[in-house]
Structure 1
Amino acid sequence: MNAQTDDLAGRLGEIVDRARRAAGISQQDFARMSEMSHRTLQRSLAGERSFTFEELINMARVLDVPPESLYAIAG
């Protein structure tokens, strides 16, 4: 990842984590509901890795928001 990608990954991780907490879902439950491992979710929320397209779609479904809204806020 380059600096711009790292920055976006970090902002996206913060936004997803804020939305997850607002929905009252634990990290472990959110990971399971989004079909990823808890460790993968932790690393992504911390900005250590980028979410995959499939992960973004799954998380948006769990949060009941349009997937593009996650990027628009991070953007």
Structure 2
Amino acid sequence: MLRALRDEHGATLTEYALLVACIAVVVIGAVQLLGTGSSNGLTSAGTTISSGRHVPGSGNGGGNGNGGGNSGCGTQC
């Protein structure tokens, strides 16, 4: 009877199961939060692209290779 009380194999398994469950809860929560933020950002980007609006300062400075810094913006900037 005392040997059964000292045996910790079951306790160790239970501790690992609780640890895995806690990690799973944290991971699921993080994925849901990041998923919502990513979805909102991608939706906003898609709406901007499909509407054809130009957003000043949005990284359209490709240049023409001669070091002149041709932004390709023309008269729309």
Q: Normalising by the residue count of structure 1, what TM-score does the alignment of the two structures yield? A: 0.32
The structure showing larger relative contact order (alpha-carbon pairs under 8 Å, at least 6 residues apart) is 1
Higher helix share: 1
- Name which one, 1 or 2, has greater alpha-carbon Rg: 2
